[in-house]
Chains A and B, each alone.
Chain A
């Protein structure tokens, strides 16, 4: 978060505040304090209650262990330190599922964002007619919730129902070898249009004059796209990439739905499915520890990605 202090907006605000201080007293009176409270408090209260408190509860719960007095004695929760985390790190199924979603993401995210970028560039170029139609057609799957998309594609993959029998009779897309990529296709299908639209909106906001010099020099659409447009939509690409990384590690609805189509999808197929399965045993303390580890992993991965892309950007 430190970066925000160095951005122009924040800097400008700081300068203004500085001037204010120098001009009058050291501590300026806040104007309209009650209005500020009225504006901020409703959100702040809900944010604390439904974001910060749950996180605190999860961390606390993950430190507890259940102790029983004798076989039939009453169960009590006592503080157990990092015992649950030790179990998390010994849990092979969990780490297998983490590796699985990482492999999934390494393939699916670049494919999806590559397609989204290609479509956005084509929509922004003069090569395409009927832009409005294509925009709507490509975006339509985003209106399909993950569960519903998984149900639809589950049927489409099923050998006896599929309209693509020529394919599904040759390859069983629901078998252990293919089902991960069958799910990847569902996620791609739903989200390509959404990412395309974020990138496309960014392209629309670029002033036309920027392209003029390039055109005078005789650059074609491909060259303009490569040398001007792609560098300019970098922030949008970084944003969509981070959102996709978060989404990948949190995969739940699609694989959970696929369990009724494919026995290859186990109850611990993705990390979130492990958390759900563990919490319904119920072993809430272990599930809480899984949650904390997964949330941290997600946070670290998206943050690292941001750092890497930022450094690369600065070197250009």
Chain B
């Protein structure tokens, strides 16, 4: 395992610049070697253009389809707008069954947002301690946690169900929330990052000033680890947001569903209730937006962290 996610933390340092700035994405002037032929430049751009279509056309189609009413969905050009009814459709979706869709959206934000915040805090504290303190059992803890990275989340869903049903907590908020605050990968990433970006001298200085260990962590270290924290947060946010098996197996009450599971449930009954089709499409479109916004806001930080996690 250690080979894969680079147990060799020290050599990761080029990527783990404490300021959180990797080399900028644009080609630096020095990156130009012998002048590349027009042909290979054109070929490269062509490949990129074709795949841009592949990646974006489905999303474009979803936007167009969400703006149509039921009749036009089948009768008009699938890739271009007809009567623009997007906002009407959204209003109808929000009104449907006392706004159950909005409830799902809020549930997802709560599961993923709050869950990822708690997960980041727990993982960063543990990873930081593993990096900055010497104590017996340190390597054992780290190796067990690394083993946890290899355990797929879906493999845990059924066992978690069995566990929660023993304490009669299935079909509750906690059944989906609690398991999602554990991020072994977050501990790994925090450890690598803390080793590279929190200097021991700084901790000593802070101790001489009389600051306690916890205070030093929360005021000094946490800032230096910021790009890693953002990365851990985003990883966990996406994992929880996309988690399907856990809600599928734990939840029965519709009011607890996250948005993905709610849309899945609607989509499964589309043959009996064709009017749900528009709601599924509009609901899918809206459900993508929170993640895109989060990525755009935080991308400067998390891409740095991504590099530090994979480089050996």
Taking Cβ atoms with an 8 Å cutoff, the residues of A that contact B are: 1, 3-5, 7-10, 12-13, 16-17, 20, 28, 30-33, 35-36, 38-40, 42-44, 46-47, 49-51, 53-55, 57-58, 61, 115, 118-119, 122-123, 125-129, 131-132, 134-148, 151-156, 160-163, 189, 192-193, 197-199, 201-202, 204-208, 211, 215, 218-222, 224, 234-236, 238-240, 242, 246-247, 249-250, 252-253, 256-257, 259-260, 272, 275-276, 279, 284, 287-288, 291, 294-295, 298-299, 302-303, 306, 309-310
Pairs across A and B, CB under 8 Å, 22 listed: A3-B7, A13-B134, A31-B133, A33-B135, A36-B129, A42-B126, A43-B125, A47-B148, A50-B178, A54-B162, A58-B159, A139-B295, A148-B263, A202-B307, A253-B245, A260-B270, A279-B249, A288-B158, A291-B155, A299-B151, A303-B150, A309-B3
Instruction: Give the residues in chain A near B44, CB-CB below 8 Å.
Output: 122, 125, 127-128
Contact of A276 among B14, B56, B125, B248 (CB under 8 A): B248
* B55 x A137 contact (CB < 8 A): yes
State whether the Cβ of B297 lies closer than 8 Å to any Cβ in chain A. Answer: no
How far is B305's CA from A63's CA once the two chains are assembled, in angstroms?
42
Stretch from B27-35, B84-92, B99-107 contacting the other chain: B27-35
* B30 x A306 contact (CB < 8 A): no
* B8 x A47 contact (CB < 8 A): no
Instruction: Give the residues in chain B near A259, CB-CB below 8 Å.
Output: 268
Instruction: Give the residues in chain A near B28, CB-CB below 8 Å.
Output: 208
CB distance from A284 to the nearest CB of B (A): 6
* A47 x B182 contact (CB < 8 A): yes
CB distance from A73 to the nearest CB of B (A): 22
| Interface residues in B107-139 (C-beta closer than 8 Å to A) | 121-123, 125-126, 128-130, 133-136, 139
| Interface residues in B30-52 (C-beta closer than 8 Å to A) | 30-34, 36, 40-41, 44-45, 47-48, 51-52
Question: What 1/0 mask marks residues of chain B from 7 to 35 whose CB sits below 8 Å from any chain A CB?
Answer: 11111001100000011011110111110
Instruction: Give the residues in chain B near A151, CB-CB below 8 Å.
Output: 263-264, 267, 280, 284
CB distance from A221 to the nearest CB of B (A): 6
Instruction: Give the residues in chain A near B199, CB-CB below 8 Å.
Output: none
How far is B244's CA from A22's CA once the two chains are assembled, in angstroms?
53
Q: Which 10 A-B pairs have CB atoms at the shortest separation, nearest pair first?
A: A201-B307, A35-B213, A54-B159, A205-B15, A163-B78, A235-B312, A39-B129, A58-B159, A43-B126, A127-B44
CB distance from B110 to the nearest CB of A (A): 16
- Asked whether A239 and B5 contact (CB < 8 A) given A140-B55, A145-B241, A202-B310, the answer is yes
How many residue pairs bridge A and B at CB < 8 Å? Answer: 358
Contact of A298 among B155, B187, B214, B267 (CB under 8 A): B155
By DSSP majority rule, is chain B's interface helix, strand, loop, or mixed?
helix
CB distance from B111 to the nearest CB of A (A): 12
State whether the Cβ of B82 lies closer than 8 Å to any Cβ in chain A. Answer: no
How far is B261's CA from A126's CA once the two chains are assembled, in angstroms?
43
The interface size bin for chain B is: 35 or more
Contact of A143 among B136, B156, B288 (CB under 8 A): B288
- Asked whether A128 and B45 contact (CB < 8 A) given A51-B184, A143-B295, A151-B263, the answer is yes
Contact of B195 among A9, A46, A140, A221 (CB under 8 A): A9
Instruction: Give the residues in chain A near B3, CB-CB below 8 Å.
Output: 3, 235, 238, 306, 309-310
- Which of B44, B48, B166 has the largest number of chain A CB atoms within 10 A? B48
Instruction: Give the residues in chain B near A202, CB-CB below 8 Å.
Output: 15, 307, 310-311
Q: A20-B134, A118-B47, A284-B162 are in contact. List 18 more A-B contacts (CB 8 A).
A: A1-B1, A3-B7, A9-B10, A30-B133, A40-B130, A50-B160, A127-B45, A131-B26, A147-B263, A153-B58, A155-B281, A163-B78, A189-B55, A239-B4, A239-B5, A295-B155, A306-B4, A310-B3
Instruction: Give the residues in chain B near A4, CB-CB below 8 Å.
Output: 2, 7, 139, 142-143, 146
* A198 x B310 contact (CB < 8 A): yes
State whether the Cβ of B291 lies closer than 8 Å to any Cβ in chain A. Answer: yes
- Asked whether A276 and B249 contact (CB < 8 A) given A50-B182, A155-B281, A201-B310, the answer is yes
CB distance from A141 to the nearest CB of B (A): 6
CB distance from A202 to the nearest CB of B (A): 5
Instruction: Give the residues in chain B near A147, CB-CB below 8 Å.
Output: 242, 244, 260-261, 263-264
* A17 x B134 contact (CB < 8 A): yes
Instruction: Give the residues in chain A near B128, CB-CB below 8 Å.
Output: 39
Instruction: Give the residues in chain B near A12, CB-CB below 8 Å.
Output: 10
